[in-house]
A = this chain, B = another copy of it.
Amino acid sequence: MKLSLRGEYALRALLVLGMNTDKEVVRIQTISDEQNIPKRFLEQILNELKVAGILESRRGIAGGYRLKSAPEKITLAEVIRLIEGPLAPVSCVSEKFYEKCTCPDEAKCGIRSVMKDVREAIVKVLEQVTVAQLCDRARMLEGQVANPLDYVI
């Protein structure tokens, strides 16, 4: 039931980019340094996110990456689906990547029924959480104020 390192790196990169929406772009090198990710590996991942329309980039000496849309619009579910494929533990219960399995009768499969519940549980979390919220959580854990309004008397 694991997320690959590739997927984890993608999320870590998005976290950095989400924390830096004030800047024009962020360089790969910066992300790589901040998050301990091999630079050449990260290049591939960021490019994939760009091709998919989640990031945009600027080339040349002042180049780098930035989020293409608002951090509130990007869910972790879409990112993981892009990098990893199905969120479902078995593809015979996947919404977006359905594949037939080898069991005698899918319609009567008890395991399938349970795995549907697991899939729903996973999707419920990951489709709800956006990059913006990811950043909020990070700020919260940093001991910073996530939302100053919470502190109004």
Residues of A within 8 A of B (CB): 1-3, 8, 11-12, 15, 34-37, 76, 80, 84, 86-91, 101-104, 107-111, 113-115, 117-118, 121-122, 124-126, 129, 134-138, 141-142
Interface SS majority for chain A? helix
- From known contacts A1-B87, A86-B2, A89-B3, infer whether A103 and B12 are also in contact, taking CB-CB under 8 Å: yes
Please tell me if the beta carbons of B134 and A111 are within 8 angstroms of each other in the complex.
Answer: yes
Sampled A-B contacts (16; CB under 8 Å): A1-B2, A1-B80, A1-B84, A1-B87, A2-B86, A3-B90, A8-B111, A11-B111, A35-B103, A36-B103, A109-B138, A110-B136, A110-B138, A110-B141, A114-B134, A117-B125
Q: Please give me the residue from chain B that is nearest to A33 by CB atom.
A: B104
CB-defined contacts of A135 to chain B, threshold 8 Å? 110
Residue in contact with A36 in the complex, picked from B34, B37, B87, B104, CB distance below 8 Å: B104
Compute how far the CA of A125 lies from the CA of B15 in the bound complex, rounded to whole angstroms.
29
Compute how far the CA of A37 lies from the CA of B87 in the bound complex, rounded to whole angstroms.
24
Residue in contact with A108 in the complex, picked from B36, B76, B136, B138, CB distance below 8 Å: B138
Please tell me if the beta carbons of B134 and A125 are within 8 angstroms of each other in the complex.
Answer: no
Compute how far the CA of A8 lies from the CA of B109 in the bound complex, rounded to whole angstroms.
12
Compute how far the CA of A34 lies from the CA of B142 in the bound complex, rounded to whole angstroms.
54
